[in-house]
């Protein structure tokens, strides 16, 4: 994703963090604006709403949680990636409950921040056909719904993203590292590849008649997974 029109607002009160993360985001082709406190952030958003926000929670004047709450109350659904320091688990959870799209613990790898921005933009700005049909199922990428014979099925957000990634590439073998990168914006260096396995197992329980003998999400032993319509 190297569209120079994609505008990212980086909000952090630490100048070094802003400088380093901005450098990596700009290398990935994003335009970056910065704010050092919550007041500046809201002013910047009011002037021009960015395409994504990387938001520290512990900010002077107005906290990150207050920013998320205000934006979502105003029905502003700009993607937000939260940065939370160790020991702020309750605030991280609160941020996600208020409507943040993703989070990273601090200190965060600037490469991972850039990868997470790309991943969240892929989820919130889907390209390609609106719906994918396979067997008895219709997967709507825009409405983020899955139906079987017209009946809705429940997928957790990451399960949905993973199914979309696989179903968008029928017949293509994807490794767990590929899926970590594309769905989680991560890599085996940062996240346990077993995360993918757990989510695949849950997806199979929902869409496969026989989870042990799947028809759609197939295991390519020693390599990864392949989706078949």
Q: What is the CATH number of the domain that holds 48?
A: 3.40.50.2300
Q: Are residues 47 and 12 in the same domain?
A: yes
Tens digits of residue pLDDT in 185-198: 766 766 788 889 99
* Residue with more model confidence, 151 or 100: 151
**Mean pLDDT confidence for 78-84:** 89
pLDDT band at 178 (very low <50, low <70, confident <90, very high): confident
10-to-83, 107, 138, 148, 224 alpha-carbon distances in Å? 10, 15, 37, 41, 35
Contacts of 72 (CB under 8 A, 6+ apart): 98, 99
- CA dist 213 and 132 (Å) reads 22
- 18 within 8 A of 61, measured Cβ to Cβ: no
Q: Are residues 110 and 183 in the same domain?
A: no
Domain boundary pick from 93, 109, 124? 124
Range of the domain at 173: 131-227
Q: Where are the alpha helices (DSSP H) in 63-109?
A: 64-73, 89-98
The tally of domains found in the chain comes to: 2
Q: Are residues 33 and 74 in the same domain?
A: yes
Q: What is the pTM of this model?
A: 0.61
pLDDT over 90 for what percent of the chain? 55
Q: Are residues 25 and 120 in the same domain?
A: yes
Q: Are residues 115 and 138 in the same domain?
A: no
As a residue count, the chain comes to 229
Q: Would you state the pLDDT for residue 75?
A: 87
Within its chain, how far is the Cα of 132 from the centroid? 20
Q: How many CB atoms lie within 10 A of CB 138?
A: 15
Q: Would you state the pLDDT for residue 108?
A: 82
Domain boundary pick from 68, 100, 124? 124
Q: Would you state the pLDDT for residue 201?
A: 94
Q: Would you state the pLDDT for residue 127?
A: 63
pLDDT band at 207 (very low <50, low <70, confident <90, very high): very high
pLDDT band at 2 (very low <50, low <70, confident <90, very high): very low
Domain boundary pick from 91, 108, 124? 124
């Amino acid at each position: 994703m190297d569209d120079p029109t994609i505008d990212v607002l980086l909000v952090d009160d630490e100048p070094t963090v802003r400088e380093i993360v901005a450098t990596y985001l700009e290398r990935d082709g994003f335009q970056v604006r910065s704010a050092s406190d919550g007041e500046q952030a809201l002013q910047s958003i009011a002037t021009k709403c960015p395409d994504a926000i990387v938001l520290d929670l512990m900010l002077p004047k107005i906290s990150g949680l207050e920013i998320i709450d205000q934006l979502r109350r105003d029905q502003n659904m700009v993607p937000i990636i939260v940065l939370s320091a160790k020991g702020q688990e309750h605030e991280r959870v609160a941020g996600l409950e208020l409507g943040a799209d993703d989070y990273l613990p601090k200190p965060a790898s600037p490469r991972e921040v850039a990868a997470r921005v790309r991943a969240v933009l892929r989820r919130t700005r889907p390209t390609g056909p609106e719906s994918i049909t396979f067997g008895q199922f219709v997967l709507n990428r825009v409405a983020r719904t899955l139906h079987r014979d017209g009946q809705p099925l429940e997928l957790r957000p990451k399960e949905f993203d993973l199914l979309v990634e696989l179903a968008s590439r029928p017949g293509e073998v994807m490794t767990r590292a590929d899926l970590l990168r594309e769905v989680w914006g991560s890599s085996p260096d940062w996240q346990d590849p077993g995360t993918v396995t757990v989510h695949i197992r849950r997806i199979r329980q929902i869409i496969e008649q026989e989870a042990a003998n799947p028809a759609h999400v197939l295991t390519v032993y020693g390599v990864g997974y392949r989706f078949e319509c």
